[in-house]
Structure 1
Amino acid sequence: MSASTTTPISTWSPLRQSLFRALWMASAVSTIGTWMHDVGAAWLMTSLSPSPFLVALMQAASSLPFFLLALPAGAIADVIDRRRMLLFTQGWMLLAAGLLGGLTVAGMVTPWMLLILTFALSVGSAVNMPVWQALIPELVVKEELPSAVTLNGIAINLSRSIGPAVAGIVIAAAGTGMVFLLNAASFVGVILVLYRWERVPQKSALPAERFIGAIQAGIRYARFAPLLQTVFIRTVAYILFGSALFALLPLLGRKELGLDALGYGLILGFWGIGGLAGAFILPKARQKTSIDRLVAGASVLMGAMMLILASVRNFYLVCGVMFLVGIASLTVMVSLSVSAQTAVPSWVRARALAIHMLVFQGCIALGSLLWGAIAQRTDISTALTAAAVGLIVCAIIVPRYRLQCVEKLDLSASLHWHQPARTIEPCPQDGPVLITLEYRIDPANGEEFTKAMQVLSKSRRRDGAIQWGLFQDLSEPSRFVETIVVESWAEHNRQFERVTKADRVIEERARAFHIGNEPPKVSQMIYAEGRDSRIPRQNC
C-alpha cells in the first residue's frame, strides 16, 4: 500500500488509552528532569574543567553504559516481567540523581566524580530504555505505533524546550545541585504509575529462556535479519556524524558564543521547539513521501545546519538554526525508532531494540570521543565542518538500504507448525535437537529451489537454529534433505511460537517446488549420548 493511500491516524490517538496517557505524562515530566540534568552536568563540567576532551567525555560517559548493558538488559526484559524491571531502573536513577545532587550542594564534586555519577545514572537509563521501548507495542495497536513513537518524540522535544530553560533559571537562582535534586524527584511520577499498573504477564507453557541463551538468541536474530540490519546501517550513517553537534554544543555555547547557563538553555529550547514543530509536520509528510526520502532529506538538512553552526557566531541566527536542527533530528530519530520496532516480532523485541540502542549509543560514544579529540587538536569549527560533510555524503550513499520494506512485514505469530507424532518425550533441557525435512524436487528446478531455501535459512536461524544445511541425495537426485540443529528441546518448542506470517510466506515459496504427493516428511531427533533409548523420558 502506498503512502498516498494510507488512512491517516491522528498523532494524538494513542492518548485515548488511559495507561499510555498516564505513562506518557509521567515520562514527559521525567524527561524534563533528564534534560535539566544534562544541561546542569555539561555546564558544571565546563566550570570544573575547560578541557574539550573532558567535556566531550561527559557525552561518552552518558553513552557507554548503553553500549555495555543494552543487550543484557534487553535479554532480561524478554524473559522477566517488564513492569518490575522498570520499577527497579527508575528507583536506581532516582538514587543516583539524588546522590549527585547532594554531593554537588555540599561542594564535594570533582570532574571525575561527576563523570562517575553521570555514568551510574546512565547505567539505569541503559537498562531502562530497551524495556520502555519494548513496552510501547503492548500499550497501543500496531496502526498507532508510529503515533505513539511520535508522541514520545513530542515529549522529548517538549522537555528539551522546557528543561534547559528551567535548568538555566535554577542554576542561576539556586545552583547546579538543585537541578540534580529536581531530576531525582522527577522519577517519582513514573514509579507511581508503574506501581499502580496491574500488568498481566504473557504466559507460556515453556520454561523461561536462560540469560546467556536469550542473549545468544538476540544476537543470532540480528545477524540473520537483513531488514533490521538496514535500520542499523541507517542509524550509524546518521549518528556517527550527527553526534559531533551533541558533543560540542556546550563548548560552542560557552566558549564561542560566550553564553551563560540561561543562554545555553535557550539554544537547547529552540532545538526542542523545532522538534515539536517536526512532530506536527512528520505525520503529514509520511502521507506524501516515503520514509527513506524523509530520513535522507532530514539528514541533509542536519548536515547543512551543522555547516552553518561551524561558521556563525550570532546568537539569534544560532537559535534559528537549532530550530531547524530540531525538525531534522526528530524526523530521523522517530523514523528510525518506528522502523526498529516494526522490524522484529514481539518475542525478541526488547533484545533487538537493545541492539539498536547499542548501535545508537555506541556511535554517540565513539563519535563524541572522535569529534572531541578533533576539536582538541584543531578547533570546534573544523570538527563540525568535517562531521557535516560526512553526514551529507552518507545521506546520499545509504538510501539504497530501504526502510520502506520494513513497514510491509507481518511479524505476528503464524502458529502453522504442528508437532509430529513421537513415542519419546524429551525433557526441556535435552539437546541438541536435529530436525530434518525431506523434499522431493524436480532436478530441473534444483537450482531455483536451492536459492529459495537459502532465503528460508535466514528465517530458520532467526527463530532458533544454531546450524542449518541443505543436502541432495547423490543416488536419488530428486531427494533433498533440510537439516536444522537447535540447542535444546525447549528452544525447538519455542520455534513453534516464533515463526511469523512473513516467515510462512518465505517457507511456502520454497515448498512450492515440492512435487511429492505428501507434505515434506519431518523428523525430530535428540542427541543420544548417555540416553537409554528403550525408556521413554517421563521425569525431568
Structure 2
Amino acid sequence: MAASKQWRTIIASPSTGFRNDRSTRFRAMQHRNFRLFIAGQLTSLVGTWMQNMAQQWLIYRLTRSAVLLGVFGFASQVPMLFLAWLGGYVGDHYNRHRGVIATQTASMVLAFALAALTLTGQIRDWRGAWVIIVIAFLVGVVNAFDVPIRQAFLVQMVGREDLPNAIALNSSIFSGARVVGPAIAAFTVRWVGEGGCFFLNGLSFVAVIVALLMMKIERAQTKPSQESPLKSLVQGFHFAMSDFPVRSALFLLGVLSLFGLQYAVFMPIYALDVLKGNVLTQGYLMSSAGVGALLGALHFAARTNYRGLARWIGATSTTGAIGLLIFSGAKLFWLCAVVLFVVGFAAVSQTAATNTLIQSRVPDQLRSRVMAVYATVFMGVQPIGALIAGGVAKRISAPHTLTVFGALVLVGSLVFLLRVVMRLARESTEATKAAASN
C-alpha cells in the first residue's frame, strides 16, 4: 500500500499541486541560511552569466567559427560528464559546506585569471580563443564538484519539508541571473570590453563566499570513506536506473541537454548573421530566454506537493520542443525573443520538476551521488551536444541544425508522454481500485 501511494504522488492528477499565496511560493526563505545562500548566489550567478556570454562573443568575434563555439561549449561542460560522480562521492563523505566554499573560491580565481589575460591584451586572435576554451574547461572541472555538492547541500539549509520550494527558488535565481547577466554583459562589452565582464564575475564570487562563511550549519552525519569511489558511483547510478520514474525523467532530461539546450551555442550567430544585429541583440535574446526561465521557476515554486510531476515534465518538454522548431526558422527579432521566452519557461520548469522528483525519492545517504547522476545527465551531456551542434552547423547551417534538434526533442517528449505518463496513470488507477476493494 505504501509503495502504491508513493507511485501516485508523482503522476498526473486533478490536483495540480500549485498554490498562489506568497507564503507558499517563498516558504524556504524562512530559513536564515537559505536567505544568505540566495543573496550570495544571485550576485555570483549574474557574474557567471556575464562571463559566459562575453566568452562566446569574444570567441566568435575573433574567429567567426561555429565549430569553435561548439568546442567552447564542449570544453566548459565535458568535465561534468566524467567527474560529477567524484563530486557526488565527496559530497556524501565529506563536509558539504566546506566543499561549496572551496569550489566557489576556485571559480573566483579562474575568473580573475581570465580577466587579467584579457585586459593585458594576451587574448587577441584565434590562439587567444583557445586560451578561453582551456579556462572554460578548468571552470567545468570545478563545476563537476560544485553542482552535486551544492544540490545536496540544499537539504541541510531548509530540511526535507521545504526542499522542493528551495529547489524551485534556487532555479529562479539562476534564471533571474540569466535575465540580468547577459544584459549587463552586452553593455559592459560595448563600453569597456570583454575583460571587464570577466573581472566583474571574479568580484561577484566574493558575495557568495561571504554568505557561505556567515552560515551556521549543523554538522551533518557523514559516512566514513571506506568504500571506493567507483563502488560509490555504482550505488548512486543503480538507484537512479532502478527507479522507473527517476530513470524515465533522467532520459528525457538527457534529450533536452543533448539537443534542446544547444540554441544557446548559436546565439552569436543569430545575433550577427541571422538577425543582422550586434552584441546587444545577443544580450536581449538571452535575457528573453532568462525572463521565461525565471517565471517558469517562480511558477513551479508555488507547488506544495509532488503530484503531477510526470505529466508536467512531459508537457513542458513538448512545449519547449515546439518552441525550438519555431525559433529555428524565425527571421524576425521580436519572434525570436517571444519564442525564446517560451523555451526558457519550459526548459527550467522541466529541469526543476525532474530535480524535485529525484530528490523526493532518494535516501539521504545517497543524495549527493544520485544528484551527481542528475548533474551528469543535465550538464555532462550538454558538451557532446555542443560539439555535435558545431560540426553539423558547419555543414547545414545553425538554423537547420536547430530544426533537426527540435524535432528530436519533440520525439523524445511524445515517447515520454505516451509510454511513461500513461503507464504511471494506469498503475495509479489500478492501485486506487485495489485500495478501494480492500
Q: 2:416 matched to 1:382?
A: no
Cα distance in 2, alignment partners of residues 88 and 374 from structure 1:
38
Q: Is the 8 A contact 2:25 2:302 kept in 1?
A: no
Q: Is the 8 A contact 1:230 1:402 kept in 2?
A: no
Are the structure 2 counterparts of residues 254 and 286 from structure 1 closer, same or farther at C-alpha, using a change threshold of 3 Å?
Answer: farther
Match of 2:232 in 1: 214
Q: Is the 8 A contact 1:3 1:288 kept in 2?
A: no
Cα distance in 1, alignment partners of residues 241 and 257 from structure 2:
21
Q: 2:41 aligns with which of 27, 30, 39?
A: 27
Deviation readout 1:430-463 (Å, 9 max, x if unpaired) = xxxxxxxxxxxxxxxxxxxxxxxxxxxxxxxxxx
**What does 1:281-430 align with in structure 2 at a 5 Å threshold?**
281-283=299-301, 290-399=308-417, 400-402=419-421
Are the structure 2 counterparts of residues 100 and 141 from structure 1 closer, same or farther at C-alpha, using a change threshold of 3 Å?
Answer: same
Cα distance in 2, alignment partners of residues 254 and 286 from structure 1:
43
Q: 2:81 matched to 1:67?
A: yes
Q: 2:25 aligns with which of 8, 11, 16?
A: 11
Cα distance in 1, alignment partners of residues 349 and 148 from structure 2:
20
Q: 1:87 aligns with which of 101, 106, 118?
A: 101
SS in 1 for 2:261: helix
Amino acid of the structure 2 residue aligned with 1:127: F
SS in 2 for 1:143: coil
Cα distance in 1, alignment partners of residues 373 and 342 from structure 2:
29
Q: 2:114 matched to 1:100?
A: yes
Q: 1:276 aligns with which of 294, 309, 329?
A: 294
Are the structure 2 counterparts of residues 288 and 149 from structure 1 closer, same or farther at C-alpha, using a change threshold of 3 Å?
Answer: closer
Cα distance in 2, alignment partners of residues 208 and 106 from structure 1:
45
Q: Is the 8 A contact 1:97 1:180 kept in 2?
A: yes
Measured after TM superposition, the shift of residue 285 of structure 1 is 7.8
SS in 2 for 1:208: coil
Amino acid of the structure 1 residue aligned with 2:15: S
Cα distance in 1, alignment partners of residues 210 and 241 from structure 2:
38
**What does 1:519-530 align with in structure 2 at a 5 Å threshold?**
none
Are the structure 2 counterparts of residues 165 and 230 from structure 1 closer, same or farther at C-alpha, using a change threshold of 3 Å?
Answer: same
Amino acid of the structure 2 residue aligned with 1:401: V
Q: Is the 8 A contact 1:76 1:211 kept in 2?
A: no
TM-score by length of 1: 0.71
Match of 2:52 in 1: 38
Cα distance in 2, alignment partners of residues 5 and 323 from structure 1:
23
SS in 2 for 1:401: helix
Measured after TM superposition, the shift of residue 276 of structure 1 is 2.2
Gaps of 5+ in 1: 406-540
Choose between structure 1 and 2: higher strand proportion: 1
Please say which structure displays the higher CA radius of gyration: 1
Measured after TM superposition, the shift of residue 170 of structure 1 is 0.7
Cα distance in 2, alignment partners of residues 404 and 331 from structure 1:
22
* Larger RCO (CA under 8 A, 6+ residues apart): 2
Cα distance in 2, alignment partners of residues 102 and 73 from structure 1:
29
Q: Is the 8 A contact 2:43 2:204 kept in 1?
A: yes
Choose between structure 1 and 2: higher helix proportion: 2
Gaps of 5+ in 2: 1-8, 425-438
Q: Is the 8 A contact 2:248 2:416 kept in 1?
A: no
Cα distance in 2, alignment partners of residues 288 and 217 from structure 1:
25
- Quote the sequence identity (%): 26
**What does 1:448-463 align with in structure 2 at a 5 Å threshold?**
none
